[in-house]
Amino acid sequence: MTPGAYLDHAATTPMSAAALAAFVEEAGKAGNASSLHAAGRAARRVVEESREQLAAALGARPSEVIFTSGGTESDNLAIKGIFWGRRSEDTRRTRVLVSAVEHHAVLDPAFWLAGHAGAEIVLLPVDGEGRVDLDALRAELAAHAQETALVSVMLANNEVGTIQPVREVVRIAHQHGVPVHTDAVQAVGQVEVDFAGLGVDALTLTGHKVGGPVGVGALLARRDLPIEAVQHGGGQERGVRSGTLDVPAIRAFAVAAADAATTHTERAAHLAGLRDALVAGVRAAVPDAVLRGPDPATSSGLRLPGSAHFTFPDAEGDSLLYLLDSAGVQASTGSACQAGVPQPSHVLLAMGVPEHEARGALRFSLGVTSTPDDVAALVAALPTVVARAQAAGLVGGGRS
C-alpha cells in the first residue's frame, strides 16, 4: 500500500482485491487466445466471458468491445481510425472537432493528423467551468457538416473534473450525420456510463483508473462505425487492433470495471462526502485558494464526485507538489501524462484562467481507498506548504 495520504487517484488507482485475484489466477496459465488447441481455446473463453462482462456493465454489446493496451491507445484508435475510416468514404471529411480541454491522448493524435494526414483541427471553446460551448459546436456543424469526420468530447475532465453534456453533443452531431467519440477514462465508477444510453459511436476506458491493472483498456465502438486499423499484424479484435491479447489483464480489467460500474452510486456518495470535506478544509486553511471547475455546493452534478482542483496565488504548482510530498501527501499538478513539463495546464488556459494563476494549480483526486484521514493530512499540511511555496516564489524573483 502506498504510504502517506494518496490523493492522486485520477492518475492511477490501486488494484482491487477481486481484480488482483483474477489476474493472479489467469497469470499462472498457459495459452494464447488466438491458438486453436485446448489451452488457446480456454484462454479465448476467458477473453470472451470478460468481453461479455464488460459490455453488460457499460451498456454495450460484446461485439462492440475492442480490447487495447489502455486509454491512450484507445483514444488514438478512435481519433485516427474514425478519421481515416470516414475520409475513405468521402475525401471531403477532413475536419476533426475536439474540445479545447481534452486529454493529450486525444489532442495529440488529432494534431498529428493535421501535420501528417491533411486534417483540419477545430478546438471547441469551453466556459469558465470547463464545459464545452454547444453553440460553437452547432455553428461549426451547420457550416461544415459535410467536411467533418468526427467530434470528440470527453465525458469528464481529468484535471478539473467537469462533466460534459455528451448526450447533447451527440444529439447535435447526429443531426448532421457526424459520429461522436468520448473519452470516459475518468468517469467509470464515479458516474453512470452507459454506452447505448449516451448514444456515442465510440467510447474510451482503461483498467488502471477503475481498480484494474495498468496496460489494458478498451474502445467501445459501434459495429457499423467506419474505423481503420492503426496497428496491424494478426488481425485480432475485429481486425481493428492486432496484437496478442493479455488474458490475465483483460479478465482483471473486466472484473474491476464491472464492479466500478455496478457500484458507482455508492462510490459516488463516498467520494462526494470526502470531496466536500476536502474543499471546505482547503478553503478554510488557505482562504485565497480558488476552486476550479463547477462548485460542488451549487453544481454537484456537474463535476466528478472524487475531484477537487485548486489554484494557489503566488505559488508554483511544482513547488506545492514537492512540499506536500515531503509532508506525506501525494497529489498532482494536473495530468500525470504531462508531469515534469513546466508549462501551465491547457485546460485552465482554455477556461480563461490567466497563465500566472494557472501555474499554481494542484489536483486532488479521491478513490475507493480514500479516508477522512487523508483529507485531514492534506488540510493540516497545506498552510505551511503554501506559505513556503509562496516565499520561494518571491525569493526566486516572482513570476514572469
CA nearest neighbour of 361 among 318, 297, 397, 400: 318
Rounded Cα distance between 125 and 132, Å, is: 6
b/e sequence 344-353, b meaning 16+ C-beta within 10 Å? bbbbbbbbeb
337 is catalytic: yes
CA nearest neighbour of 52 among 257, 260, 266, 265: 257
- Torsion sign over Cα 56, 58, 59, 60: negative
In this structure, what is the dihedral angle of CA atoms 51, 54, 58, 62, given to the nearest 10 degrees? Answer: 10
- Tell me the residue type at 365: S
- Yes or no: say if 190 and 304 are a contact pair by the CB < 8 Å rule: yes
In this structure, what is the dihedral angle of CA atoms 175, 161, 186, 338, given to the nearest 10 degrees? Answer: 110
- Yes or no: say if 360 and 324 are a contact pair by the CB < 8 Å rule: no
Rounded to the nearest 5 percent, the helix, strand and coil shares of the chain are: 45, 15, 40
Rounded Cα distance between 5 and 372, Å, is: 10
The catalytically annotated residue of 145, 336, 337, 380 is 337
3-state secondary structure of 126: strand
Q: Where are the alpha helices (DSSP H) in the chain?
A: 17-27, 38-57, 71-89, 104-116, 134-144, 166-175, 195-198, 247-262, 264-285, 296-299, 317-326, 346-350, 355-358, 372-395
Rounded Cα distance between 127 and 132, Å, is: 7
- Yes or no: say if 154 and 101 are a contact pair by the CB < 8 Å rule: yes
- Yes or no: say if 331 and 11 are a contact pair by the CB < 8 Å rule: no
* Segments of 133-247 assigned E as strands: 148-152, 180-183, 202-206, 217-221
Q: Which amino acids are annotated catalytic?
A: 337
